[in-house]
A = this chain, B = another copy of it.
Amino acid sequence: MKIAVAQLNFHIGNFDGNVKKMLKAVATAKKQGADIVCFSELATCGYPPRDFLEFDDFIRLADEAIQTLAKAAKGIAIVVGSPSKNPVIEGKDLYNSVYFLAKGKVQHVQHKALLPTYDIFDEYRYFEPASEFKIVKYKGKRIALTVCEDIWNIGNDNPMYDICPMDELMPQKPDFMINVSASPFNYNHANNRIHVLKSNVERYKVPIFYINHAGAQTEIVFDGGSLIMSPNGNVFEELPYFKESVKTFSLAEVKKGKTSKVQPKNKMKLIHDAVILGVKDYFGKLGFKKAILGLSGGIDSALTAVLATKALGKNNVRVVLMPSQFSSDHSIKDAEDLAKNLGIQYDIVPIKSVYKSYLKQLNPLFGDLPFNVTEENIQARIRGMILMAMSNKFGNIVLNTSNKSEAAVGYGTLYGDMCGGLSVIGDLYKTEVFELCRWINRRKEIIPNNTIVKPPSAELRPNQKDSDSLPDYDILDEILFQYIEKTQGPNEIIEMGFDPKLVRRVLRLVNINEFKRYQTAPVIRISSKAFGMGRRMPIVGKYLS
């Protein structure tokens, strides 16, 4: 028996596009001699469809997609994820299901039992968990079908569920497992995935075919990396990261096992590729082509410009230099150098005259009150507004250039430098921004070295430095990581040896700035805990604030 694994890039709600893509892959799999071709979780409607699932009309379209695919399941079987209706009135209205289509018809439907409802996941919001588990028989083989999380309650210290669907299926003696997934990327995820799959094959002693989605949906990147694993725990093959792939495997060969190399998992390369896919799919799936961003001469906008150019092409990225009286000469030069290195269009729009007109207009109200954060923010907001005006006039989408450290502590201006349709590097701490810039420059100076080595500054008042208001990024980022990614409280972090006053100040800054993050663009997620849909915090709270 031959099984084709098709990791494709689906688009939420784009049923026609998704079906067309799958039909093409069915043809490819047939050519490769496959008996079965497998697609990822909720492939018909794209993952995560979120509250679209609450529309009967949306489910009807998913059902139609299944019917179309079923008709194409002739001479080959199709395994595909799609929502299905719960026929009984009690419980949620839907299941998250995997369909087995063959001989032109739906042969079997297995529902997902373990419904991730944490971080970015909301599955129990929509789905009833499965209570029945049945294998499917095809061409003399017995196949255990599961959906994503169903195999993830094994091999971890803190199991989130009290059953394992494969335990229920094993008495039916399956010959192999197929798991259809939509498992989001983070820079540790590929290793975790291999660990979990290994734990499964070691426990159940049958091979697994694991099919992941490859593509980004707004903030969530799915990295592909589909796995075929032999019963001996060896990776038989790992499909490429961040791109589509259709490949057919012989079950007999997979059962035998072989020693296969998995792809290298360099953190910076993974982040780099993930962000580029995130930008590419945000634009591609929304039907946009061109981006615009402000280039300050600083490292954040430099990195954003590089990644955007790699994602969209140099003819589709435009940058604007918006110097004020507080901008240093080297900033303008550094920004120009980068634009030239990248070959992208750049314009210079000084903001001094607009700034002055604001001050004049506000003078009757402000009188002699001293310069403070108000005037700093005015500058940042003028820049945001110029970018938005150019966006409106020329149709370029504004890219946000904030990093995770500043988003965390609120070191940014709402409606100013925090504006934009997509946050490109908003899940990278400042120290990771530096690291990625160095990695990008590893062979050739693309980002001017001066941009990397000079002390970070917002340049909103004379001789301003980030270090005037913030601790060293090495220390700040470690505290933030412990609080945000590791959910450690103040006492635990202080016990690690950090200054108690500093820890309390940083945690307070994170919490009192929730209102700012609430209003910012979706952030491309590359860590296990990004700001946005995966981190849901009260605004009106009084905890550590």
Contact = CB atoms under 8 A, between A and B. Distances in A.
A520 interface: yes
Interface stretch (A135-143, A156-164, A269-277, A325-333): A156-164
A541 B46 contact: yes
A419 B413 CA distance: 13
Interface stretch (A54-62, A305-313, A424-432): A54-62
Given A366-B393, A385-B381, A519-B519, A58 B538 contact: no
Contact of A218 (B91, B162, B539): B539
A402 to B, nearest CB: 13
Contact of A536 (B117, B118, B349, B533): B533
B354 A361 contact: yes
A48 B362 contact: no
Interface in A406-420: 414-415, 419
Interface stretch (A170-178, A190-198, A281-289, A448-456): A281-289
A115 B122 CA distance: 13
A125 interface: yes
A386 interface: yes
A369 interface: yes
A17 interface: yes
Contacts of A385: 358, 378, 381-382, 385, 415
Contacts of A48: 538
A388 B361 contact: no
A5 B91 CA distance: 32
Contacts of A17: 542
Number of copies: 2
Interface stretch (A105-113, A254-262, A487-495): A487-495
A228 B12 CA distance: 47
A480 to B, nearest CB: 14
A129 to B, nearest CB: 10
A389 B415 contact: no
A349 B362 contact: yes
Interface in A358-399: 358, 360-362, 364-366, 369, 372-374, 377-378, 381-382, 384-386, 388-390, 392-393
B540 A217 contact: yes
Nearest to A521: B519
Contact of A491 (B57, B377, B421): B57
B372 A281 contact: no
Contact of A159 (B89, B369, B386, B492): B89
A403 to B, nearest CB: 18
A468 interface: no
A425 to B, nearest CB: 18
Interface size class of A (residues with CB under 8 A): 35 or more
A93 interface: yes
A56 B392 CA distance: 46
A11 interface: yes
B393 A122 contact: no
A218 B490 CA distance: 25
Contacts of A489: 55-58, 60
Contact of A361 (B11, B349, B543): B349
26 contacts: A12-B538, A13-B538, A13-B543, A13-B544, A50-B537, A50-B538, A51-B535, A55-B488, A57-B491, A58-B489, A89-B157, A90-B159, A118-B125, A218-B538, A281-B540, A350-B361, A351-B361, A357-B357, A362-B390, A365-B393, A366-B393, A369-B393, A374-B389, A374-B393, A377-B392, A518-B522
Interface of A: 11-14, 17, 46, 48-52, 54-58, 60, 89-93, 115, 117-118, 122, 124-125, 157-162, 216-218, 281-282, 285-286, 347, 349-351, 353-354, 356-358, 360-362, 364-366, 369, 372-374, 377-378, 381-382, 384-386, 388-390, 392-393, 414-415, 419, 421, 487-492, 515, 518-522, 533, 535-545
Given A52-B543, A385-B415, 16 more contacts: A12-B541, A13-B538, A13-B543, A50-B538, A51-B537, A90-B162, A91-B160, A92-B160, A117-B124, A124-B124, A125-B536, A353-B357, A354-B361, A366-B393, A369-B393, A415-B415
